[in-house]
Amino acid sequence: MHSILITGGAGFIGTHLVKRMVKKYPDYKIVNLDLLTYAGNLENLRDIENAPNYTFEKGDIRDADFLQGLFVKYDFDSVIHLAAESHVDRSISNPMAFIETNIVGTVTLLNAARSHWKDLIGKKFYHISTDEVYGSLGDEGFFTEATPYDPRSPYSASKASSDMLVRAYHHTFEMPIIVSNCSNNYGPYQFPEKLIPLMIHNIKLGKTLPVYGDGLYTRDWLWVEDHAAAIDLIYHEGKIGETYNIGGNNERKNIELVHTLCDIMDELMGKAIGTSRQLITFVKDRPGHDRRYAIDASKLKHELDWEPLVDPETGLRKTAEWYLENQNWLDAVTSGAYQRYYAEHYE
């Protein structure tokens, strides 16, 4: 049985990828490795937790002995590496956590795979990264796979370092690797520190909607299930040693995105359109805030025939509806209830 280790599989993107792989490939053995920190939540995976081809392992990608034992136990053919600290604001307040997890953790995982894979035929180490490694764009242009790295935050610098280390292992040790860099994901199960779920949560509670600076910072937004489909495709058909950019073709200024969410939420909650916009408050800007990200995903389109399927209006509405329908999930996540439960039961 084909055996795949997915790291960070109880996180936001990992949740959607693990579900997809478990359901779509019953002949694969999917092992989900997650430390279950604040953003990891096994409740997300209730519907597949008893699947015969799925196993969860709690553990730390920085723990070399643990990883070595895991590779021996499951004899992985492949790794899909999503585990990472990912929130820019947290990286500003605590850079070392990002260095330890995103850099040291990635190298420890690479070393475990390299140590176990005596024969590299049929093996694959697929590293998931971000468009933030490319830095900041002006009013025009797009990031391509050839764009030089220019990270501006501790988070993006840690991801840029991990990307380069993965590629270094390919060139130095012939490690069979693939890298992909994605734009901002959104959709169900995202921890509510990120922009879209935070705004939805605050609108529902009638709380202030904090928008950094002038609100004109621009991001490309990718529906998370479109991203999971792209990872699936790249894993199976991507070329070893290559990098693929994954974008949503959905470039929005932050203030425009918040306005759209306000109007969707007003409609869903039966309020007069424009009511929630009154909650918007512009706050002091984040240090080193990148002005604009935009991805050129044409390589993925031309080589593997992938493009996003969910348009932004549909995706934002589906996201808002999910959070409104899953208030218990949101309450438990924001209170830390799930994390305390798993800390007690998985130690």
Quote the mean pLDDT of the chain. 94
What DSSP letter does each residue of 98-147 carry, written as one string?
HIIIIIIHHHHHHHHHHHH-SS-TT-EEEEEEEGGGG----SS--B-TTS
The one catalytic residue in 131, 225, 226, 296 is: 131
pLDDT digits (tens, 9 = 90+) for 68-105: 999 999 999 999 999 999 888 889 999 999 999 999 99
Task: Spell out the residues 6+ positions from residue 97 whose beta carbon is closer than 8 angstroms to its own.
Answer: 85, 90, 91
Q: Where are the domains of the chain?
A: 2-188+222-250+288-312
* Angstrom distance (rounded) from CA 204 to CA 265: 8
Tell how strand 54-58 and strand 28-34 pair up. Answer: parallel
Among residues 83, 294, 90, the alpha carbon closest in space to that of 183 is found at: 294
* Angstrom distance (rounded) from CA 315 to CA 256: 15
Q: What's the whole-model pTM score?
A: 0.95
Residue 49 contacts residue 56 (beta carbons within 8 Å): yes
The one catalytic residue in 132, 145, 290, 296 is: 132
* Angstrom distance (rounded) from CA 168 to CA 173: 8
Place of tokens 């040790």: 173
Among residues 249, 243, 242, 198, the alpha carbon closest in space to that of 226 is found at: 249
Supply the CATH classification number for the domain 2-188+222-250+288-312: 3.40.50.720
pLDDT at 347: 58
pLDDT at 339: 72
pLDDT at 274: 96
The one catalytic residue in 155, 244, 323, 342 is: 155
Give the Cβ contact number of residue 315 at 10 Å. Answer: 23
* Angstrom distance (rounded) from CA 110 to CA 5: 12
155 is catalytic: yes
AA letter at 94: N
Residue 109 contacts residue 7 (beta carbons within 8 Å): yes
132 is catalytic: yes
pLDDT at 288: 80
* Angstrom distance (rounded) from CA 309 to CA 84: 26
Q: Give the chain's residues under pLDDT 70.
A: 342-343, 345-347
pLDDT at 124: 98
pLDDT digits (tens, 9 = 90+) for 272-306: 999 999 999 999 988 888 889 999 999 999 999 99
Q: Which two tokens stand for residue 57?
A: 């392992």
Determine the number of helices (DSSP H) and then strands (DSSP E) in the chain: 13, 12
Tell how strand 177-182 and strand 54-58 pair up. Answer: unpaired
Place of tokens 């996201």: 319
pLDDT at 312: 86
pLDDT at 87: 81
Q: Which two tokens stand for residue 262?
A: 């306000």
Among residues 178, 35, 165, the alpha carbon closest in space to that of 104 is found at: 165
Sheet holding 177-182, edge to edge: 54-58, 28-34, 2-7, 78-81, 124-130, 177-182, 243-246
Provide the CA 328 distance to its chain's centre, in angstroms: 23
